Chains A and B, each alone.
Chain A
Amino acid sequence: AQTVTQSQPEMSVQEAETVTLSCTYDTSESDYYLFWYKQPPSRQMILVIRQEAYKQQNATENRFSVNFQKAAKSFSLKISDSQLGDAAMYFCAYRSAWSNYQLIWGAGTKLIIKP
């Protein structure tokens, strides 16, 4: 069975600085998708970025980028120029490309932005 691990329960960063959130996963599959979702306090889950395992190029969405290391089964999220609105819980999630469609989630990292 696949598992997702986020080893940082909480991270803090100064506004305008860069922060990296870690995620590792375990799978025997070769084809899958990885996601970072953001959940602000009392607000809904928002997709930040998506990575297909077959793509070697790391995904980028504006200030958000990933470092996808397939062999190491690592999928970290880098947030550049951190803003107060980035404060949220960040969840890493895995989805098989073929066998089922459910997302398998990490426990989340709480990101605090210091003004």
Chain B
Amino acid sequence: DTGVSQDPRHKITKRGQNVTFRCDPISEHNRLYWYRQTLGQGPEFLTYFQNEAQLEKSRLLSDRFSAERPKGSFSTLEIQRTEQGDSAMYLCASSSVAGLAGGHFGTDTQYFGPGTRLTVL
């Protein structure tokens, strides 16, 4: 396990459809984060899990968005009734508060996956 993985890498959908993205964090990491990034901008925080508990949600996360991390491992982000404004790159990151699992840059450093690019037509 060399990094955070996300699936799919690209998703094209029609307005009104539901989509689900998956994120697999680095295996020792107990924290998982979702961000959204639109073209030419920095990422915006969406939500954060510690183990299976969702501890923080941004106001950006409308009722159409839901995230889960059922067993404290992988996470899913679902968007219901997609809108054109949902088109963006969805980034997942993970981190660890424990010792060596924090990696070279130390504990609780966030490492990112490749992202899922969503296009809503």
- Give A contacts to B, CB under 8 Å: 4, 35, 37, 43-47, 50, 91, 93, 100-108
Question: What number of A-B contacts does a CB cutoff of 8 Å give?
Answer: 53
- Residues of B near any A CB (own CB < 8 A): 31, 33, 35, 40-45, 48, 56, 58, 91, 93, 95, 105-106, 108-115
A102 and B91 contacting across the interface, CB-CB below 8 Å: no
Residues of B within 8 A of A47 (CB): 105, 109-111
Cβ–Cβ contact A102 & B45, under 8 A: yes
Known contacts A50-B106, A101-B33, A101-B56: A107-B41 contact under CB 8 Å: yes
In the complex, chain A residues whose CB is within 8 Å of the CB of B56? 100-102
- CB-nearest residue of chain A to B44: A105
CB nearest to B108 among chain A residues:
A101
Nearest 3 A/B pairs, CB to CB:
A105-B42, A102-B45, A45-B112
